[in-house]
Structure 1
Amino acid sequence: MPAAERTTARLRLRRVSVDDLDAFVALEAALRPERTPDVVASARYLSAFTDVWERGELGYWTVLLHGEIVGFGGVQPKLWHGRRCWNLYYRVSPAHWGKGIATEVAREAVAAAREARPDWPVLVETRPWNAAAIRVAERVGLIRREDRDGYAVLLAEPGPEPEPGRS
């Protein structure tokens, strides 16, 4: 089973838990202040995230900075257009934007993915107007491909480590 906890220079990354629901809902509220978060839907997402770990796979982490939950991110397996890959995901509280946290999480997630299944590509699908998410993916070595199904697609193919951009 993959390591359920990792650390970076500043962050503690631990496997996501259903106990993180309040923080998950709070992050959704901070990211989308125009609408009330759907707690039931958030609980379903969180449960699906924890299920990945329960199956013995590498999954998403809860991101802590100085003991405070500041976001969620990591990689988990995904079947994308018939191809097994790692789905790279990162969401950080707006109060912590611009501090390199998403990039730090993404970099650690790509490293964990390469350790777990180096033969799988790493994928980010985001809306084409999500410039910040695209920049993070590019910083950790993913390359923009042709947009597909309404998403900007960034991919790091298996093989030698790509040269990441500067953060």
Structure 2
Amino acid sequence: MSATKSRLIYRQPQLADLPAVFAIFGDPQTNLFNPAGPMTDLAQAEALLERWIKHWATHGYGWWTISSAQSPDHILGFAGIATHDYLGKSVINLGYRFAVEAWGHGYATEAGQAALTHAFDHLGLPEVFGLVRPDHAASIKVLEKIGLRRFGLLDDVPGKAPSLVFRIQRNPA
């Protein structure tokens, strides 16, 4: 199952994506605002990829593997919606991570909007959340651009400032 929208191709992740998952999630630049830091070994990437694949099998949606329509075999990043634990509360969380080469092209905004469209128009979900570190200005800008608004704080990183919680609700028809 894959869908093409605008400049990007979205498809379910597969085991063959492992090198790209490790390259992107293991890159220190893509983890500047990740308190856990970059992945340090392939086993971490494999565990993440397996969680994504299992989420798709269980829920019928999840993070996508994303490439450009012009170069479909080259993975630019990963994005989508998935269940996430906000300190004991399960929510639908929007997330994205792109290779450094893909930054500055509007891909996070485009993928985020595609994820929201999927969540609301295809899945009928009532709301989607986004969690971001308070000093990650670029990610905050993306969330705001696609319609999420500040909702609260989540003290999820011991010894650090709380993460910002953003939320958007489906417009009733």
Matches of 1:72 and 1:60, distance apart in 2:
6
Amino acid at match of 1:39: L
Matches of 2:148 and 2:132, distance apart in 1:
13
Shift >3 Å, 4+ stretches = 32-36, 78-85
TM-score (norm 2): 0.81
- 1:136 maps to 142
Name the Cα RMSD after superposition: 2.3
Q: Displacement, 1:29?
A: 3.1
User: Where do 5+ consecutive residues of structure 2 fail to align?
Assistant: 156-161
Q: 1:106 to 1:17 in 2, by over 3 A?
A: same
Mapped pair 1:17 → 2:14 = yes
The answer to whether the 8 Å contact 1:119/1:159 transfers is no
Q: How does 1:87-126 map to 2 (within 5 A)?
A: 87-126=93-132
The answer to whether the 8 Å contact 1:58/1:77 transfers is no
Mapped pair 1:127 → 2:139 = no
Amino acid at match of 1:50: I
- 1:165 maps to none
Mapped pair 1:40 → 2:43 = yes
User: Where do 5+ consecutive residues of structure 1 fail to align?
Assistant: 162-167
Q: 1:81 to 1:118 in 2, by over 3 A?
A: farther
**Greater Cα shift, 4-13 or 105-114:** 4-13
